Structure 1
């Protein structure tokens, strides 16, 4: 389980990377159950990214995989998403937070290109000393 302080550390590192890249994003850090622990929206980010970053983080936590690596067309994933309330988003931009194989949660980013979103999310994971993906 991720602590609030760990979530804030991941959030801060993710936002710092976005600033370095000169992009405006929304960032969600969730626990192992996919529930929001920490969130930020940069000033010029798109309002829709609020939902995108959370849906990607939920997907990464639920699957223990990067959100863009999950094929949404499978019967199992469609059913899981349906049971969860159809909030999962199968798009690149979130990574699970795994430390020594244990799931802490996930960090999801939305608002830039898929590759830049994922790069920012990886910065959050690295700040926590998470396993490399």
Structure 2
């Protein structure tokens, strides 16, 4: 069995900006692969942006609730990508605490605070980066 995980990059764009992220090859990203490009409506929760993917994925081994800013996570309870860049309403201190344990997919390239320009209700597009 091949154990090297290949990395891929996605581009996430919204009216005020965009960023890229490097994601690992996981069961969840394989499911996402089938639906990209996707268009969704952004929601904000404290300093986290999340949006529906239309993908159902089980919680993977290694799922975490407290993550680093800029983590690209998949929220199995909401079938959503979660992109935290700072504290959420349930954080303790400055941590990024997600609503429940999420599958870890990768990391935002560059400054995750770029996500602060996403407004609740913004259209979001996710596609493979070149």
TM-score, length-scaled by structure 1: 0.29
TM-score, length-scaled by structure 2: 0.29
Between Structure 1 and Structure 2, the one with more strand by share is 2
User: Which one has more relative contact order, counting CA pairs under 8 Å at least 6 apart?
Assistant: 2
